[in-house]
Amino acid sequence: MKKLSKELIGASSIPIILSVLSKKESYGYEIIQNVKEISNGKIEYGDGTLYPVLHKLEKKSFIESYWKIGESGRKRKYYKISDKGRKELLTEKESWTIINQIISKLWKIEPSLI
Amino acid sequence: MTDDNINELESHLEDEIHELQKLGLSAEESMLIAKKRIGNIEELVTEFSKVNKGIYFKNKIIPYLKGILLFVAFLTITSLLANLSILIANKLGVNDKNLSFVSVGLLILSTFILLMFSYKKYKNVNLNIRKLTSIPILVSTIIVSKLLTFLSFHVLNRLIGISHYGVLQMNLSIYKLIFVFFILIISCVVFYSLKQENKTTILE
């Protein structure tokens, strides 16, 4: 199974993480597993690389974090989406829809590219 | 990395190990795989430092700040000791000729104490030097020593003449000059020996 390019994974990380967190609050390890499952293994965030992205989103106030003892009894840092983050997700959705429409249009005109 | 970052990565490692163990791997195997997956420390620090720019910068400058503060504290204390030597000499009734010996003796003693602390730290003797070199302690030491030096100057001015005070300041200046010279030699020796060692490592 061919994985997606690093650049594409990097560019899509913000809308993907915000979308995951818009469903429910989560912690780093769970987010990685969740994205891996949804993408059928095509997107697998590096263990140590997801956290800087999460911290960047937190700095921009798109998400909030807090430490909580999970069901397993272990202490974990949970992240949840903020109102500002939900607005950002809407903007991201619009942008990605536009990109999707442009690419779909282009490939309809030139089916040989597919 | 901040303590929070480390705790978060630790909790991530625990989750990873737990999942691997559920797949039937031993604790040791799970630990090895989880460690490998999380990546090497340099890469992690580089990635985290992109977000923690402020903290990264502060952590980088702290050793330099401490170095400067330590040096200023040392100079302030030596000034205070020089003034103190006059007071001691005056109390003990030491004559003018021996006053220089008292002041020089005190300065040598302070240097000896400083070198002893550095040596013990170098030899990793259980000496809690961290608390002594923390920024609030160093800043307070400098402020208190400066104030005491200033006060002692006024007391001395009344006790002895300005000319005697001048002689002492002269002694202190020579001492400071020797001390700076000593630091310069050490810096050069450390710099060139390290350069030489790096060359040898590359050649190997």
pLDDT per residue rounded down to tens, chain B (204 residues):
777 888 888 888 888 888 888 888 888 888 888 888 877 777 777 777 777 777 777 777 888 888 888 888 888 887 887 777 777 777 777 666 666 677 777 777 777 777 777 777 666 656 566 666 788 888 888 899 888 888 887 777 777 666 667 777 777 788 778 878 888 898 888 888 888 877 766 655
- Assess whether B84 and B144 both reside in one domain: yes
Supply the DSSP symbol for A71: T
Helix (H) or strand (E) holding B33: helix B27-38
> CB distance B12–A72 less than 8 Å?
no
- Assess whether B137 and B36 both reside in one domain: no
Nearest to B15 by CA among A32, A43, A67: A32
- Assess whether B134 and B37 both reside in one domain: no
Total domain count, chain B = 2
- Assess whether B32 and B105 both reside in one domain: no
- Assess whether B66 and B145 both reside in one domain: yes
Q: Which domain holds residue B82?
A: 61-175
Best of A51, A54, A66, A74 to disrupt the B interface (most B CBs within 10 Å) is A51
- Assess whether B71 and B140 both reside in one domain: yes
Interface of A with B in 27-66 (CB under 8 A): 27-29, 46-49, 51-52, 55-56, 59
Provide the edge-to-edge strand list for the sheet that holds A26-27.
A26-27, A75-81, A63-69
Residues with Cβ within 8 Å of A49's Cβ and at least 6 positions away in sequence, in order, are B39, B47
- Assess whether B40 and B67 both reside in one domain: no
- Report the complex ipTM: 0.77
- Assess whether B76 and B45 both reside in one domain: no
Domain assignment present for B131: yes
- Assess whether B47 and B99 both reside in one domain: no
Domain assignment present for B138: yes
Domain assignment present for B77: yes
- Assess whether B109 and B151 both reside in one domain: yes
